[in-house]
Structure 1
Amino acid sequence: MERRRESETPDLYSEVYGAERPELFLKSTAERCMGPLDDIGIRTDSTGMFQKPNWDLLSSMEKSADSLAETM
């Protein structure tokens, strides 16, 4: 609910969440991802670090539409 209040287009969230097939948003390429126990970069102007739940999908550029991995 808080995200909807922060958004300039709060209706966008309703459209995405109510869609028959959820929309996928690109968050990063492989070069910018960190593995288990890797160091992460935190911006110097950051006032805190908060965890948020994500559903991650790793896919391939091959013609196969199968996903390689999913995490929660």
Structure 2
Amino acid sequence: MPGALATRRRKMAKGAFAFLRATCFRFAAQSPSLGLPAAPSVPSSGDAHLANFGTWRDAEGRLARG
């Protein structure tokens, strides 16, 4: 897997967004030790945006939701 790791690092180096998106699991693993204020527990999805909830593009390229 050394080639896959090198590819991942190249992609992460393209910008802040790519880096932060690729390392969000590290933040989640470290968050208990960061001393963040307590917050209520809520059910959520780690990648919760509209495109993950039944959306697609129709034949004319319009965004559709089901």
TM range (shorter): under 0.3
Q: Which has the larger radius of gyration?
A: 2
Give the helix-richer structure, 1 or 2: 2
Report 1 or 2 for greater relative contact order, CA contacts < 8 Å, sequence distance ≥ 6: 1
How high is the TM-score relative to the length of structure 2?
Answer: 0.26
